[in-house]
Amino acid sequence: MDLTVGPGERVAVVGASGAGKSTLLAVANGAVPPSSGTVEVLGQDPAALRGRALRRLRARVGTVHQHLELVGPLRVVHNVNAGRLGGWPAARAAWSLLRPQGLPEVLAALERVGLADRVFDRTDALSGGQRQRVAVARVLVQDPELVLADEPASALDPALSGRVLELLGGPASRGGALLAALHDPALALRCCDRVVGLAAGRVVLDVRAASLSVRDLADFYGAAA
Ligand SMILES: Nc1ncnc2c1ncn2[C@@H]1O[C@H](COP(=O)(O)OP(=O)(O)OP(=O)(O)O)[C@@H](O)[C@H]1O
């Protein structure tokens, strides 16, 4: 795979189940080292970094994981604040579990995803779509330059899906970038500028979103399956 994502781009990664979308995102955020070849994220190779340098890079990359990676028994506020733990001293992070820090920013992020009234609820008391929006709010408080999102709207209705993609595209509009694995062709074309299609771990499509129709993309899913 040879893929470059530039500043300002919102890229939809599409492809059949098992095509390699999650693997691409995991390699891009440094969670999975490449078995061969090189990866550069915001000008740095995550596999070559350790300690503080790695934490500094991770603070600049926000991820919405496919399985969300929230801590169910914790309150929503704590899961949202997890987005910026990398930028806090350990003492502040620990103290925040007793007295949540930075509450105005947490509330603002939750407001943007329509969950401000759930800030002190236990996260595992929320619906699947609400939990997905907590994971998005966590990225919003982090305010990263690069957003990696793995099916960030899979549990949301069409209106909320568009809103969430718009929010995740915010850093791209400020010179960062968005790389989002999406299964919904209409959403991919509506919310992204570029579509990268994967099949069996390879890039088999790389075009401007404006040059595709929803039908073309639906056909691609059929052909790639
Ligand atoms: N931890 C792992 N160890 C070994 N192989 C893996 C691992 N995770 C994924 N794979 C394999 O890599 C391939 C791509 O998986 P990946 O999860 O990236 O696909 P995907 O396009 O995100 O699929 P989906 O849409 O179903 O989430 C699959 O064949 C899968 O079996």
Tell me what pLDDT residue 214 has. 86
Q: pLDDT for 166-183, tens place per residue?
A: 999 999 999 999 999 999
pLDDT band of residue 219 (cuts 50, 70, 90) is confident
In a domain, 110, yes or no: yes
Tell me what pLDDT residue 213 has. 87
CATH number at residue 22: 3.40.50.300
Angle at CA 81, nearest 5°, toward 76 and 84? 155
**Whether residue 76 has pLDDT greater than 90:** yes
Place of tokens 């570029």: 194
**Which token pair is 90?**
């350990």
> DSSP states of 62-98 as a string?
EEE-TT----TTSBHHHHHHGGGGGGS-HHHHHHHHH
Give the closest residue to 178 by CA, choosing from 201, 155, 209. Answer: 209
Sheet holding 202-208, edge to edge: 61-64, 146-150, 177-181, 10-14, 194-199, 202-208
Residue 152: CB within 6 Å of ligand 1?
A: no
ipTM over 0.85: yes
User: What span, in angstroms and rounded, lies between the C-alpha atoms of 4 and 40?
Assistant: 9
Q: Are 149 and 114 members of one domain?
A: no
Nearest CA to ligand 1 atom 6: 23
Residue 23: CB within 6 Å of ligand 1?
A: yes
**Whether residue 80 has pLDDT greater than 80:** yes
Q: Are 131 and 152 members of one domain?
A: no
User: What span, in angstroms and rounded, lies between the C-alpha atoms of 136 and 147?
Assistant: 10
- Phi and psi, residue 151, nearest 5°: 50, 55
Average of per-residue pLDDT across 116-127 = 97
Better pLDDT: 62 or 97: 62
- Provide the residue range defining the domain that includes 112: 70-143
In a domain, 155, yes or no: yes
Strands 177-181 and 194-199: unpaired
Beta-bridge partner residues of 195: 12, 207
pTM over 0.90? The answer is yes
In a domain, 65, yes or no: no
Where helices occur in the chain by DSSP H, the ranges are 21-28, 51-59, 76-81, 90-98, 103-112, 128-142, 158-168, 170-173, 185-191, 214-224
Tell me what pLDDT residue 225 has. 57
In a domain, 219, yes or no: yes
Percentage with pLDDT > 90 across the chain: 74
CA of 161 to the centre of ligand 1 (A): 24
pLDDT band of residue 224 (cuts 50, 70, 90) is low
Q: pLDDT for 16-44, tens place per residue?
A: 999 999 999 999 988 898 999 999 999 99
Tell me what pLDDT residue 105 has. 96
Q: pLDDT for 63-72, tens place per residue?
A: 999 999 999 9
pLDDT band of residue 197 (cuts 50, 70, 90) is very high
Domain boundary (111, 128, 143) is at 143
CA of 18 to the centre of ligand 1 (A): 5
CA of 38 to the centre of ligand 1 (A): 19
Report which residue type is found at 24. L
Q: Are 185 and 88 members of one domain?
A: no
Answer for the pair 165, 194: CB distance below 8 angstroms, yes or no: no
Domain boundary (126, 143, 160) is at 143
User: How many domains is the chain built from?
Assistant: 2
Mean pLDDT of the chain: 93
Domain boundary (143, 177, 204) is at 143
